[in-house]
Structure 1
Amino acid sequence: MTNVLFLVVDSLRYDAVFGNEFETPNIDELAAEGVSFSQSFSQGISTAPSMTAMLTGRYPLDYGGHWYLEEDQPTIAEEFQRNGYTTGAIHSNPNVSRLRNFHRGFDTFEENILPIDPDGFVENAPNDLIRYANKLARILRRTPYMPARNVNKHLTEWVDETDEPWFLWTQYMDVHGPYLPGDDFSYRNKFRAERLWRKAAVNAPEEVTDTEHQELWTNYRKEVEYLDQEIGSFLDKLDRLGELEDTAIIIVGDHGDEFREHGLYGHRNLPYDELTRVPLIIRFPDSSSVDQPATVETMVRTIDILPTMLDLADADLSTEMDSRINGESLLPVLNGHEPSYDVIVTEKEARGEDFLRFGFRTEEWKYLYDGGDSTQYLFNLSNDPGETENVADRNPDTVERFREHLNQRFESIEATSEDIEIPEVDDEQGVEGQLRALGYK
């Protein structure tokens, strides 16, 4: 049976890997050996919706939304587990924590969200004490997340101690802001990076100077290149353990980051391509029937990763998963077939608000809807790949076709979310403080 190594890189833009400016030799080598998808698009512009989509195979706003997985929602880990796999997750992202119910189905779920172990004393401590303790710990630590080198140490130990077949997922946070200059984890760099990140991504993006903009972009590049080095070292260790030959390796960005292309930084804007287009590389084991290396230029969705991995493992889906899944396996696409869809959907609920944002993309068009003020945008991607000129008024028929897709999503969200209650977890056990450290309001 095939092992599955699922490496998600938070905030990794497509051009960070497949552009000409960054040096990513290890990821490039995987792409040269496996299958690269040149037009892969995320179903979310931030972690919560994009990871909900990837870990459940459904659109993120169905069944109560993306901030919390309701109890009946099957996950990729549960599907692998019921098919005889040992499952593991090791990460430090508060948006996909056990508090949000993302731990279900994992035999091992290690999260470095709380600097203090959530067992024992902390489990019974008052919430205020937990918040203050974690605030102090965040000040003392030199990064707001677990660096890739530390993550990979845990991943390697887990693989070495686990019987095959296994499914292992991590979400690297190094490329997410605040951008540090690579592996230079000094307090000076940390505090400068946090101040600049909050200015750019939260408080005053319009006041970022050209010098500060260049510093942000340079440090983002250094983060990507540092991560590439660590991924290479990790895969070398797995190779020495004899664990790579029968392992499928998936590398994907959960979403991108904006660098003032549309006036903002980070990932708080509408679903423009700099936020939705992400690298997707799958290196299949030699035992598979997939013809590689190959480059796929067909538009695909990150929501399709789950059914692809389960299809590769010849897994039997649970009835509930089968009824809820929206994604479809990409293995037929690798054999020359076209996917059943021709519109890519991206969606999210704005954090702290009650309105929704949507993006619908075809090869030629991008339609955006901002539920905050009901504004709609239409871009002709053939003539305007940078999405700079709103041509909605000049193309009413095209807008109407996309409005039909929008109305279908509203109807599905309402129908699937009826009677589902989602608890508030942001204020629990210091999670809010951790989110703020990463630049979330």
Structure 2
Amino acid sequence: MTAMLTGRYPLEYGGHWYIEDEQPTIAEQFHDNGYATGAIHSNPNVSRLRNFDKGFDTFEENILPFKSDGLLEHAPDDALRYANKFVRVLRRTPYMPSPRVNERLAKWTDAAPEPWFLWTQYMDVHGPYLPGGEFTYRNKFRAEQLWRKAAVNSPHEITTDEHDELHTNYRKEVEYFDTELGKFLARLDWRGQLDDTLVVIVGDHGDEFYEHDDYGHSNLPYDELTHVPLMMSFPDGSEIDQPRQVDDLVRCVDILPTALNLADATLSREMERRMAGESLLPLLRNDESPEFDSIVTEKEIRGESALRFGFRTERWKFLYDGKTDQKLLYDLDGDSEETENVADANPDVVTEFERQLEARFETIENTSADITIPNIEAQPGVEERLQALGYQE
């Protein structure tokens, strides 16, 4: 999410769990270019507690019903924690479901002055997998129990029946979300706004179903996690042939410069200095491939200082696990499922990727010096949401 909203690599300038004060965002750039800006979502990792509200005129998040600066301002932390836990138990989903998100999106777009920039993150296609909009307490508790076993505590103990249940419910969630997203886009079309709007649909990550001995998205950046959908619908007059499929490798950091380029927006100097992404308009209009050598995937393991990296080209995938110091190389030409480590047989290729890895370490260290990240998880009630979504035990 940090890569999409800032256009820079996730671990620079303090990392992907928090947006530091000097970091420009896509919302700030659109705001400074005369756009009304709105965000409506329920992801506890992308909240105002983590500074993700920078640049948004409206920032609605369904995170904590009771906040220390809200209704129960003088309540002790333990009271807030139990109040939030009680409300979470009463809810039939651990997130705001897409029909409610759509209602708020529609209300905002109906009232917002044009031009506007709107961002949301639907959480329906996310563990714990609920079977396609069947929001019952029984399904909720079963889904949370199974998700925690698979993605947090005991992935090796998942039975064949449990695996099939997880995968079936995941597919049902995808189908359900597809229908609900279509309803919102149909509303924009009915209001005559769709033809004038750039619509970007992207997954921030995929989920693994034990392809590499794990479930969810806490593993190394195998393609099951990083080869995500990216669909763009361009407004009339954009000089881009539609529909078409582009097979070039592209990155999440390229979304921000593409959108701002299409809007002919003026970028701040700090945004230009920090931005790693490239506009995809030359690729889409003139078949000019992007200039980067490889796609970089990077993250910090939650609760630890260990870093994980992935470097991908058309042929090669190089993975580094900072927790174990393990290095893996896959030849995707003959091993698209990333099953055979061929690092020992290709030392020159490994050496080149190690050079890129060291460059990333150096850049991360230099840009993140003297930046302090607050302990967000210590906020009353936040840990319950993170636990429900499988982000912590």
Tell me the TM-score normalized by structure 2. Answer: 0.98
**Residue 188 of structure 1 pairs with residue 138 of structure 2:** yes
Matched, 1:414 2:365: yes
More contact order relative to length (CA 8 Å, sep ≥ 6)? 1
Matched residue, 1:178 = 128
Farther off after superposition, 413-422 or 250-259: 413-422
Residue 383 in structure 1 maps to residue 334 in structure 2: yes
Residue in 2 that maps onto 1:316: 266
- Does the aligned pair in 1 maintain the 2:41–2:96 contact within 8 Å? yes
Could you tell me which of 48, 51, 68 is aligned with 1:98? 48
Give the secondary structure class of the aligned counterpart of 1:393.
coil
Q: 1:351 aligns with which of 299, 302, 305?
A: 302
Question: How much does 1:202 deviate?
Answer: 0.6
Q: Any unmatched runs of 5+ in structure 1?
A: 1-50
* Distance in structure 2 (CA, Å) of the matches to 1:420 and 1:295: 41
What letter corresponds to residue 184 of structure 1 in structure 2?
E
Alignment-derived partner of residue 33 in structure 1: none
Q: Output the CA distance in 1 between the equivalents of 2:346 and 2:300.
A: 27
What per-residue deviation string (whole Å, max 9, x for no partner) do you get for residues 272-299 of structure 1?
Answer: 0000000100000112122221111111
1:149 alignment partner, SS class? helix
d(CA) in 2 for partners of 1:116, 1:227: 28
Helix, strand or coil at the partner of 1:65: coil
TM-superposed deviation, 1:338:
1.3
| Matches of 1:220 and 1:95, distance apart in 2 | 21
Q: Aligned residue for 1:162?
A: 112
Aligned length: 391
In structure 2, which of residues 319, 339, 343 is the aligned counterpart of residue 392 of structure 1? 343
Aligned residue in 1 for 2:230: 280
1:123 offset after TM fit, Å?
4.0
Q: Which amino acid aligns with 2:266?
A: D
Query: Partners in 2 of 1:150 and 1:409 — Cα distance?
Result: 40
**Structure 2 partner of 1:235:** 185
With over 3 angstroms needed to count, the CA separation of the structure-2 counterparts of 1:303 and 1:123, relative to structure 1, is farther
Q: Deviations over 1:237-276 (max 9, x none)?
A: 1222222121111100001000000010000100100000
Show the counterpart of 1:430: 381
Determine helix, strand or coil for the equivalent of 1:230. helix
Matching residue's letter, 2:162? E
After superposition, the CA RMSD in angstroms is 1.0
Deviation at 1:310, TM superposition (A): 0.2
Letter in 2 for 1:355: A
SS at match of 1:160: helix
Deviates further, 118-127 or 89-98: 118-127
Q: Is the 8 A contact 2:332 2:338 kept in 1?
A: yes
Match of 1:4 in 2: none
Q: Do the aligned partners of 2:68 and 2:74 also contact (CA within 8 Å) in 1?
A: no
Which residue does 1:250 correspond to in 2?
A: 200
| Secondary structure of the corresponding residue to residue 295 of structure 1 | coil
* Structure 1: 4+ residue segments shifted above 6 A: none
Q: Read off the aligned partner of 2:319 and give its amino acid letter.
A: L
After superposition, where does 1:97-136 map in structure 2 within 5 Å? 97-116=47-66, 120-136=70-86
What amino acid is the match of 1:409?
R
CA 427–374 in structure 1, closer or farther in 2 if over 3 Å, else same = same
Q: Secondary structure at the match of 2:327?
A: strand
Structure 2 CA distance, aligned partners of 1:128 and 1:354? 28
1:221 aligns with 2:168: no
- The Cα offsets for residues 361-410 of structure 1, whole Å up to 9 and x where unpaired, read as 01110000000111100000001100000111111111000000000000
Deviation at 1:113, TM superposition (A): 0.7
Question: 1:379 is paired with a residue of what secondary structure?
Answer: strand
| Residue of structure 1 aligned with 2:97, choices 143, 147, 155 | 147
Instruction: Give the counterpart letter for 1:403 in structure 2.
Output: E
1:63: which partner in 2?
13
Compared CA separation, residues 236 and 432, structure 1 to 2 (3 A): same
The one-letter code sitting in structure 2 at the alignment partner of 1:136 is F
Query: Structure 1 residue 423: deviation in Å?
Result: 1.1
SS in 1 for 2:231: strand
Maintained 8 Å contact 2:67/2:80 = no
- The alignment partner of 2:60 has SS state of strand
Partner SS for 1:345: strand
Question: Separation in 2 of the partners of 1:137 and 1:287?
Answer: 48
**Cα-to-partner distance string for 1:29-88 (whole Å, 9 max, x where unaligned):** xxxxxxxxxxxxxxxxxxxxxx01110000000001111111000110000000000000
1:326 alignment partner, SS class: coil
Query: Structure 2: any 5+ residue segments left out of the alignment?
Result: none
Q: TM-score, normalised by structure 1?
A: 0.87
Q: CA deviation at 1:120?
A: 3.1
User: Does residue 81 in structure 1 map to residue 56 in structure 2?
Assistant: no
SS of match in other structure, 2:344? helix
Q: Which residue of 2 aligns with 1:8?
A: none
C-alpha deviation, 1:115, in angstroms: 2.7
Letter in 2 for 1:120: G
Give the Å deviation of 1:342.
Answer: 2.3
User: What amino acid does structure 2 have at the position aligned with 1:194?
Assistant: E
In the alignment, the residues of structure 2 paired with residue 205 and residue 117 of structure 1 have an alpha-carbon distance, to the nearest angstrom, of 34
CA distance in 2, matches of 1:232, 1:64: 37
- Aligned-residue offset at 1:430: 1.2
Counterparts of 1:326 and 1:194 in 2: how far apart (Å)? Answer: 37
